[in-house]
A and B are shown apart, each in its own frame.
Chain A
Amino acid sequence: MKVLVTAKRVIDPYVKVRVKSDGTGVETANIKMTINPFCEIAVEQAVRMKEAGSVTEIVVVSIGVTQCQETIRTAMAMGADRGILVETTEEMQPLAVAKVLKAIVEKEKPNLVIMGKQAIDDDSNQCGQMLAALLNWPQATHISNVTVNGDSAEITREIDGGLEKLTIKVPAVVTADLRLNEPRYVTLPNIMKAKKKPLEIVKPDALGVDVKPRLKTLKVAEPASRSAGVKVADVAELVAKLKNEARVI
């Protein structure tokens, strides 16, 4: 079985994010970038499935600037077999990402696509769903467990009320939630090996996909800073405040 995983390059979660002074976005120049944590979970899942013997090849795809090669190398150091970078400097929005991935899927013909449920930069949570729709494949989002048996997969999803168990047909698109696994620490020998794994670079044009943004960002601003709280004397006062001031009960 062949698995395709995606790896988005995002600002490192340890970095304090700053809004650009002109309000057009957040500062990304000269800032430490890393693989999106949910994508990391997706890669880890594919690698575990390969180690368990149910997967034979893992292809990792990233879309974006040249430096996304580093993100792909990280995924390959975790255990992905080869990488594809769809290189573009265009701002990539969810529909464009899904269209690019569709083109790659049609070429690579994987049995399963594992993606992060969302990226920690824009928190869209759309690409997996859009890709499944474009491919007309089954989808299972926010998964915390997956087992593939022949042409179907047993899935556990995390939903508001608890856990939902599903059986879906493969090929399918699944998106990883936080508790699917805990990604491994990359080993030093595998960092060295990843340098030698094949990494193919293609342009969106070559895939016949128009990646121009369709949404326009009007303004990005920092959230208002939190104002100081107040101490209440007793529960009665708290309830009164929640009822009359906050109007939440």
Chain B
Amino acid sequence: MSSYIAPLKDMTFVINEFADLDAVSKLPGCEEVNAELVDAVLGEAAKFAQEVLEPLNRSGDQEGAKLANHVVTSPGGFKQAYQQFREAGWNGLAGAAAHGGQGLPHIIANPVQEMWNSSNMAFCLCPMLTSGVMEAMAHHAGAEQAARYLPKLISGEWCGTMNLTEPQAGSDLAAVRTKAVPSGTNGDHYKISGTKIFITWGEHDMAQNIVHLVLARLPDAPEGVKGISLFIVPKFLVNVDGTLGARNDVKCVSIEHKLGIHASPTCVMQYGDAGGAVGYLVGEPNRGLEYMFTMMNHARLGVGLEGVAIAERAYQHALEYAKTRVQGREVGQRGGDRVTIIHHPDVRRMLLEMKAQIEAMRALAYFSAATLDKAKRHPDAGEKRRNQALLDLLTPIVKAWCTEQCVEIASTGVQIHGGMGFVEETGAAQYLRDARITTIYEGTTGIQANDLVGRKVGYEKGASAFAVIAEMRKTAAAINALGGDLASIAKSLAAAIDVLDEATRWIVDSFPKNPNAVLAVAVPYLKLFGTVGGGWMMARAAVVARKKRAEPGADAAFYEAKLVTARFYAEHVLPKAAAYAQTVVGGADSVLALAVDRF
């Protein structure tokens, strides 16, 4: 059984060398951000992840969360770990300074989140949902609401949840039926009633109070998405002086039995069984979905990071097994000693496939985190807009591509273990089971791909996509000019950019004429974009590694490995771009040719 070691060197390589830490540190409110701070924060977070969260990952999976009499008990050790987590102040990492947070940028927060997820994704979901609530309230709650709830959420004394889904309203939130009726003598609150499902950490024993953000309809609300409002529904009502009052009319009626993330209770929440749960309107009526969408980039990038994190953990696990499991001899050796399986070429290929893709995914995820920081904080309006457009384009790609790759990578991790991988005892299977949810929640891969080809590429005639492609071409030209051992990377990247360009043109041309055809190949297009985007990041890494390798006192072995990994990506992963592109421009017809009733 391996234990998680945070890949700090790989992380800081991306952060410092080419995810543009320098640019982020020049943003307003980021004056204290520099490489030393990154080292200090990541170093301590690594310690916490390795020593506190990781040891509870397997036991949490085996034990699972338990429900009895509407009370959820978290697996052994989780409550204490959460208390330590909260006391160490990690919950407030990116929280607003005005309410007691540290206000650090995403370029620091996201790598830290990667470590929480690698060491214990089921645990990490609880603070992750809380930070989603923090983000939504920071933007849309009134000053009085913010003052009442935010400091306790940032300190982690209270947790938060997101209540969107209902049995009939999953990807289609227009179908939300939960009711909110004005109540109270001065109409200061509403009575909420309805059923919400798939509520992550909807009920548990780790915090004093749980603040539910609930989507519901007012009596006079218009049909569809324009009639949904957002409400704060605390588990315990909060008195004016901040102390906890009566238990609200909301309870957990069951928890799901799932494929993975067993330690994270996925709750069915019942509101208003005893007359209506007290809820408080956030912002204006009927704008709930719009409010939710302002934090969607943040949440979706977060799930993309889960993909990076679980893939990294699965890789470390497989690598240790490959280095210790002795089986067979090297080809061409007769009678020599038996060797560890990492000596076998196919095992090495699998390990490199994992490693190369993880590095590409991490780079794209951190690059997007830095883009988010710039979109949020840049003082220049033009730069802010440019980064927002780039972020909007990258978000569905990071979310869906990183998680889809993660499922494959975790599966390869099982494969490296051979028969032992299929046995739970080895631990490799948990990563595959946990990974499986990441392509589904926070918008499935299909939803992400539809968002990409529609809102992000189709409607704006590919403006952001072509802007990114132009940037990619600059990197390709730079790497081509360096030549030498980078020549194969340059060639492969240039070819991949060409097919991405061609496929993007096809999407832009076809979208107004035949949107169904575009949607039929949206996922292959998203995978194409992810694959080429990853290749772009790997090429940028190679350029830096080539330069750094030559510097006196450099860690030559580290940079050498970066160059080899980039070459592997160019030779083994990037060629897939051509296949995806071929499907995009020529594969829509067959999808639609078989009529619905012929299946």
List, in ascending order, chain A residues with CB within 8 A of B51's CB.
185
- A188 in complex: contacting residue of B84, B89, B553, CB < 8 Å: B89
B444 at the interface (CB under 8 A from A): no
Contact A195 B32 (CB under 8 A): yes
B44 at the interface (CB under 8 A from A): yes
Contact B47 A185 (CB under 8 A): yes
B163-192 residues with Cβ-Cβ distance < 8 A to A are none
User: Can you offer 26 A-B residue contacts whose CB atoms are under 8 A?
Assistant: A14-B50, A29-B553, A29-B555, A30-B558, A32-B9, A70-B36, A70-B39, A73-B36, A77-B40, A185-B48, A185-B88, A186-B44, A187-B87, A188-B41, A188-B88, A188-B102, A189-B92, A189-B102, A190-B89, A191-B37, A191-B40, A191-B41, A191-B44, A192-B32, A194-B40, A195-B40
Q: How many residues of A contact B (CB 8 A)?
A: 19
B52 at the interface (CB under 8 A from A): yes
Contact B102 A14 (CB under 8 A): no
Contact A74 B40 (CB under 8 A): yes
A34 at the interface (CB under 8 A from B): yes
Contact A187 B89 (CB under 8 A): yes
List, in ascending order, chain B residues with CB within 8 A of A74's CB.
40
Complex Cα gap A188–B48 (Å): 11
B93 at the interface (CB under 8 A from A): yes
* Residue in B36, B89, B92 whose Cβ sees the most chain A Cβ within 10 Å: B89
Closest A residue to B556 using CB positions = A30
Contact B8 A32 (CB under 8 A): yes
Closest B residue to A34 using CB positions = B43
List, in ascending order, chain A residues with CB within 8 A of B558's CB.
30
* Other contacts beyond A186-B44, A194-B40: 7, CB < 8 A: A29-B553, A32-B9, A188-B41, A188-B89, A189-B89, A192-B102, A195-B37
Contact with B along A45-88 (1 / 0, CB 8 A): 00000000000000000000000001001100100000000000
B90 at the interface (CB under 8 A from A): yes
List, in ascending order, chain B residues with CB within 8 A of A29's CB.
553, 555
Complex Cα gap A192–B30 (Å): 12
* Residue in B50, B51, B88 whose Cβ sees the most chain A Cβ within 10 Å: B88
Contact B88 A187 (CB under 8 A): yes
B5 at the interface (CB under 8 A from A): yes
Contact A188 B90 (CB under 8 A): yes
Which residues of A approach B to under 8 Å, CB–CB?
Answer: 14, 29-30, 32, 34, 70, 73-74, 77, 185-192, 194-195
Interface of B is mostly: helix
Contact with A along B1-32 (1 / 0, CB 8 A): 00001001100000000000000000000001
List, in ascending order, chain B residues with CB within 8 A of A186's CB.
44, 88
Complex Cα gap A191–B5 (Å): 21
List, in ascending order, chain A residues with CB within 8 A of B32's CB.
192, 195
Interface size range on B against A = 20 to 34
- B40 in complex: contacting residue of A30, A32, A70, A185, CB < 8 Å: A70
List, in ascending order, chain B residues with CB within 8 A of A14's CB.
5, 50
Contact B47 A30 (CB under 8 A): no
Contact A30 B44 (CB under 8 A): no
Complex Cα gap A185–B52 (Å): 10
* Residue in A34, A77, A188 whose Cβ sees the most chain B Cβ within 10 Å: A188
List, in ascending order, chain B residues with CB within 8 A of A188's CB.
41, 44, 88-90, 92-93, 102
Distance (Å) between the CB of B35 and the closest chain A CB?
11
B121-164 residues with Cβ-Cβ distance < 8 A to A are none
Complex Cα gap A187–B156 (Å): 13
Distance (Å) between the CB of B545 and the closest chain A CB?
13
Contact B555 A30 (CB under 8 A): yes
Complex Cα gap A14–B102 (Å): 29
Complex Cα gap A194–B89 (Å): 14
List, in ascending order, chain B residues with CB within 8 A of A185's CB.
44, 47-48, 51-52, 84, 88
B87-122 residues with Cβ-Cβ distance < 8 A to A are 87-90, 92-93, 102
Closest B residue to A73 using CB positions = B40
List, in ascending order, chain A residues with CB within 8 A of B84's CB.
185
List, in ascending order, chain B residues with CB within 8 A of A189's CB.
89, 92, 102
Complex Cα gap A190–B90 (Å): 11
Complex Cα gap A188–B84 (Å): 12
List, in ascending order, chain A residues with CB within 8 A of B48's CB.
185
List, in ascending order, chain B residues with CB within 8 A of A194's CB.
40
B48-71 residues with Cβ-Cβ distance < 8 A to A are 48, 50-52
Distance (Å) between the CB of B587 and the closest chain A CB?
47
Closest B residue to A194 using CB positions = B40
Closest B residue to A189 using CB positions = B89
Complex Cα gap A162–B313 (Å): 42
Complex Cα gap A70–B88 (Å): 19
Closest A residue to B40 using CB positions = A191
Closest B residue to A31 using CB positions = B555
Contact with A along B534-557 (1 / 0, CB 8 A): 000000000000000000011100
Complex Cα gap A219–B393 (Å): 57
Distance (Å) between the CB of B352 and the closest chain A CB?
21
Distance (Å) between the CB of B82 and the closest chain A CB?
13
Complex Cα gap A147–B45 (Å): 32
Distance (Å) between the CB of A55 and the closest chain B CB?
22
List, in ascending order, chain A residues with CB within 8 A of B9's CB.
32
Closest A residue to B43 using CB positions = A34
Distance (Å) between the CB of B539 and the closest chain A CB?
23
Closest A residue to B85 using CB positions = A185
List, in ascending order, chain A residues with CB within 8 A of B43's CB.
34
List, in ascending order, chain A residues with CB within 8 A of B554's CB.
30
List, in ascending order, chain B residues with CB within 8 A of A190's CB.
89
List, in ascending order, chain B residues with CB within 8 A of A30's CB.
554-555, 558
List, in ascending order, chain A residues with CB within 8 A of B93's CB.
188
List, in ascending order, chain A residues with CB within 8 A of B89's CB.
187-190
Complex Cα gap A14–B41 (Å): 18
Closest A residue to B32 using CB positions = A195
Distance (Å) between the CB of B555 and the closest chain A CB?
3
| Complex A-B, nearest 8 residue pairs according to Cβ-Cβ distance, in ascending order | A30-B555, A188-B89, A187-B89, A187-B88, A189-B89, A186-B44, A185-B88, A191-B40
Closest B residue to A196 using CB positions = B32
List, in ascending order, chain B residues with CB within 8 A of A192's CB.
32, 102
Complex Cα gap A249–B553 (Å): 52
Distance (Å) between the CB of B42 and the closest chain A CB?
10
Closest A residue to B39 using CB positions = A70
Complex Cα gap A115–B457 (Å): 62
Complex Cα gap A70–B92 (Å): 23
* Residue in A32, A70, A74, A185 whose Cβ sees the most chain B Cβ within 10 Å: A185
List, in ascending order, chain B residues with CB within 8 A of A195's CB.
32, 37, 40
Closest B residue to A186 using CB positions = B44
List, in ascending order, chain B residues with CB within 8 A of A77's CB.
40, 44
List, in ascending order, chain A residues with CB within 8 A of B90's CB.
188
Complex Cα gap A211–B44 (Å): 32
Distance (Å) between the CB of A60 and the closest chain B CB?
15
Closest A residue to B3 using CB positions = A14
Complex Cα gap A29–B558 (Å): 12
Closest B residue to A14 using CB positions = B5
List, in ascending order, chain A residues with CB within 8 A of B8's CB.
32
Distance (Å) between the CB of A32 and the closest chain B CB?
7
Closest A residue to B41 using CB positions = A191
Complex Cα gap A14–B9 (Å): 13
List, in ascending order, chain A residues with CB within 8 A of B5's CB.
14
